[in-house]
Amino acid sequence: MSQTKSHPVIEFRNVSYRLNGDAGRELLHDLNLRVERGETLVLLGRSGSGKTTTLKLINHLLTPTAGEVRVEQRPTREWDVIRLRRMIGYVIQEVGLFPHFTVARNIGLVPKIENWPANRIAERVQELLALVGLHPEIALRYPRELSGGQRQRVGVARALAADPPILLMDEPFGALDPITRAELQREFLGLQNRLRKTIVFVTHDLREALLLGTRIALMEAGRLVTVQTAEEFPTCVEPLAAAYREAFGSDLENSRQRDQP
Amino acid sequence: MNVWQFMLQNHAEVLELTLEHLWLVGVSTLLAVFIGIPLGIVITRWPALNKPVLGGANIIQTIPSLALFGFLLPAPWIGARADRLAILALTLYALLPLIRNTYAGIKGVDRSVVEAGRGMGLTDRQLLFQVEIPLALGVIIAGIRVATVISVGLATIAAAIGAGGLGEYIFRGLAMVNNQVILAGAIPAAAMALLADVSLGWLEKRLSPH
């Protein structure tokens, strides 16, 4: 890749979002943020800080009430919303697998509506199952027959199905037990090393943010407090960042170093 | 003479009235399905229509059936034949359970599933036909089931305006003060309602998502 400064993949320009138009509560206030190609930007903050709102503004599940969100330099308002969403993988905490579809149909749905030939879809499904560390036989099962960890793996595979350049992940590992979570976080890092997607990742877990993020955007009450690289964050003087570090205790410093070569 | 002997003796008439009854119920339920399910879907898409549509169907439901038959009598074409009149009235009554269940079924689909579908770029049509309707199907069939069972019972009243059906025996029996004749109408009607209930219940279970 050349070193010339490329344009950001996603850009927030003075974005605010209010519930029910102008009258409602402001969930997001004057956000300015750039997400660069190939990075994992973590949105860190507690519930109600505006992380999920920020995420949904990117794939136009929500429309900004002020300012604009640009994806590939084009305001989301001007995108054909279906085309926009098909180039953005979306993974949520509840996974949201289609309960009446097998795993294979869940993963292959977007390729299918994009009119891929059946054999190519089947190949892609197997490829993705391998990628997220699932046994090929799982393809024929239904979501209810899977464990929580398996479901979220299928959710990730489904989001990657049509090879979108952008991935949005809303606390994808939040509902998993600690061991499964650690496993999926490790695999996420391996996956990201190979695929180099542009990822926006929402979490309230500082440890997860430090482990997975290239940069961390700290949010509070609908405002962006600071954006720091994962390396800078542990020494960031911002009071809220310090408060976070304190809340997560002293074993924090080790958590990132452990995973670095 | 007990009721069984009566039915055996008049088996041709029993059969004819049963078929008439089936015709009234079948046609009206089918019409209601073709009107009610699309209406139920429409009000999930345009929430502003929700109250007027459900309210309207609710009001129809509160009109006493005999009165409704009477109201419809002056209608052109419809009023000309008793069976048309009965079918229209039965259709109107069947609308409420169909609209309501279709609406509730689609609204009841797990929000995270709908959000995931929307987020991955399904069009509204794809979301509706591939996700929401299949997942709501059990609830929708339950609506058809309720509508059919109600309709079997209500159709007996259609005899009062001369539309035929098993109500003929019931009204005749009432006039003759003869329980056997009443039962000759009531038993087949009850059997029909039970049969519809059981078979649609089976279908409902089969088509419900796991």
Is residue B109 predicted with pLDDT exceeding 90?
A: yes
Q: For testing the chain B interface, which of A94, A112, A128, A200 should be mutated: the one with the most B CBs within 10 Å?
A: A94
Structure tokens at A153: 């793996």
Cβ of A85 within 8 Å of Cβ of B134? The answer is no
> What residue of A is the nearest CA neighbor of B115?
A96
Cβ of B113 within 8 Å of Cβ of A113? The answer is no
φ, ψ at A14 (rounded to 5°): 45, 50
Q: Does A99 touch chain B (CB under 8 A)?
A: yes
Q: For testing the chain A interface, which of B114, B115, B120 should be mutated: the one with the most A CBs within 10 Å?
A: B120
pLDDT in tens, chain A (261 residues): 444 467 899 999 999 999 887 778 899 999 999 999 999 999 999 988 999 999 999 999 999 999 999 999 999 999 999 999 999 999 999 999 999 999 999 999 999 999 999 999 999 999 999 999 999 999 999 999 999 999 999 999 999 999 999 999 999 998 899 999 999 999 999 999 999 999 999 999 999 999 999 999 999 999 999 999 999 988 888 888 888 888 887 555 555 544 444
List strands edge to edge, sheet with A26-35. A26-35, A10-18, A66-71, A74-75
φ, ψ at A30 (rounded to 5°): 45, 60
Cβ of B113 within 8 Å of Cβ of A84? The answer is no
Please provide the average confidence, as pLDDT, over all residues in chain B.
93
> What residue of A is the nearest CA neighbor of B127?
A98
CA distance A243 to chain B (A): 32
DSSP readout, A97-164?
--TTS-HHHHHHHHHHHTT--HHHHHHHHHHHHHHTT--GGGGGS-GGGS-HHHHHHHHHHHHHTT--
Q: How many CB pairs under 8 A join A and B?
A: 66
Is residue B127 predicted with pLDDT exceeding 90?
A: yes
The arithmetic mean of pLDDT across residues B56-77, rounded, is 87
Q: What is the pLDDT of residue B25?
A: 97
DSSP letter for A7, please: P
- When pLDDT is cut at 50, 70 and 90, the band that residue B93 belongs to is very high
Q: What is the pLDDT of residue A20?
A: 82
What is the three-class DSSP state of A61? coil
Percent of chain B past pLDDT 70, that is, above it, reads 99
Cβ of B110 within 8 Å of Cβ of A99? The answer is yes
Q: What is the pLDDT of residue B115?
A: 95
Measured distance CA(B88)–CA(B75) in Å, rounded = 11
CA distance A235 to chain B (A): 36
Measured distance CA(A224)–CA(A220) in Å, rounded = 6
Q: What is the pLDDT of residue A237?
A: 84
Q: What is the pLDDT of residue B177?
A: 93
The arithmetic mean of pLDDT across residues B146-172, rounded, is 93
Q: Does B106 touch chain A (CB under 8 A)?
A: no
Q: What is the pLDDT of residue A3?
A: 45
Among residues A49, A48, A47, A77, the alpha carbon closest in space to that of A62 is found at A77
Q: What is the pLDDT of residue B210?
A: 57
All residues of chain A having their beta carbon less than 8 Å from the beta carbon of residue B123 are: 82
